Structure 1
Amino acid sequence: MVQLRCRLLLLAFCLCYLGNIDARRHRSSRVAFSAVKTTNQKMSVNQDVIFDKVLLNKGYGFRPIGVFKAPRSGMYMLTSSLFHLKEELTIQFAIVHQGNVVANFHGTNDWEQFSQTVIIHVKKGETVSIRNVRNNNPTIYGFNFSTFSGYLL
Structure 2
Amino acid sequence: MIVQYVIGFCLFFAFSHGLSKDENKMVILEKRVKDLEDLATKLLRKVDLAERNIQSLLSENIQIKKELKYTSDQVQDLENQTIPMTDWSSSPRYTGYGSIKSLQNMKNLGQNHKNHSEKGRHLRQLEFHQFQQYTHSIMTKQRIGFTAVTTDHQTHMGINQSILFLNVIENVGNGLDPFTSVFKAPVSGLYIFSVSLVNHPGLEVRASIVKNGNPVVRIFSGDSTTYASGTSTIVLDLSINDDVWVRITDASDININGGAWSSFTGVLVS
Q: Which TM-score applies when normalising by structure 2?
A: 0.47
Tell me the amino acid that sits aligned with residue 191 of structure 2.
Y
Q: 1 CA distance for matches of 2:261 and 2:63? A: 50
Q: In the alignment, what sits opposite 2:151?
A: 38
Contiguous gaps of at least 5 residues in structure 2? 1-61, 70-135
Q: 2 CA distance for matches of 1:145 and 1:106? A: 15
- Residue 59 of structure 1 and its aligned partner are, at CA, apart by 0.7
Tell me the amino acid that sits aligned with residue 143 of structure 1.
G
* Residues 61-80 of structure 1: pairs in structure 2 closer than 5 A: 61-64=175-178, 65-80=180-195
Q: 1 CA distance for matches of 2:63 and 2:223? A: 64
Q: Percent identity?
A: 30
3-state SS of paired residue (2:216): strand
Q: Contact 2:207–2:218 (CA<8 Å) still a contact in 1?
A: yes
- Residue 13 of structure 1 and its aligned partner are, at CA, apart by 10
Q: In the alignment, what sits opposite 1:4?
A: none
Tell me the amino acid that sits aligned with residue 71 of structure 1.
P
Tell me the amino acid that sits aligned with residue 131 of structure 1.
R
Tell me the amino acid that sits aligned with residue 41 of structure 1.
Q
Q: 1 CA distance for matches of 2:160 and 2:183? A: 16
Q: 2 CA distance for matches of 1:93 and 1:143? A: 19
Can you list the C-alpha shifts for 1:68-123, whole angstroms capped at 9, x where unaligned?
11111111000010111113x43311110001111011122442111000001111
Q: In the alignment, what sits opposite 1:108?
A: 222
The ranges of structure 1 where at least 4 consecutive aligned residues each deviate by more than 3 angstroms after the TM superposition are 12-15, 21-25
Contiguous gaps of at least 5 residues in structure 1? 1-11
3-state SS of paired residue (2:66): helix
Tell me the amino acid that sits aligned with residue 115 of structure 1.
T
**Structure that is richer in helix per residue:** 2
Q: Which TM-score applies when normalising by structure 1?
A: 0.81
Q: 2 CA distance for matches of 1:151 and 1:135? A: 29
Distance 1:78 1:13, change over 3 A: closer
Q: Contact 1:91–1:134 (CA<8 Å) still a contact in 2?
A: no
Distance 1:22 1:135, change over 3 A: closer
Higher relative contact order (Cα pairs below 8 Å, separated by 6+ residues)? 1
- Aligned-residue Cα RMSD (Å) equals 2.5
Q: 2 CA distance for matches of 1:127 and 1:24? A: 26
Which structure has the bigger radius of gyration?
A: 2
Q: In the alignment, what sits opposite 1:48?
A: 162
- Residue 54 of structure 1 and its aligned partner are, at CA, apart by 0.6
Tell me the amino acid that sits aligned with residue 30 of structure 1.
R
Q: In the alignment, what sits opposite 2:254?
A: 138
**Structure that is richer in strand per residue:** 1
Q: In the alignment, what sits opposite 1:97?
A: 211
Q: In the alignment, what sits opposite 1:122?
A: 238
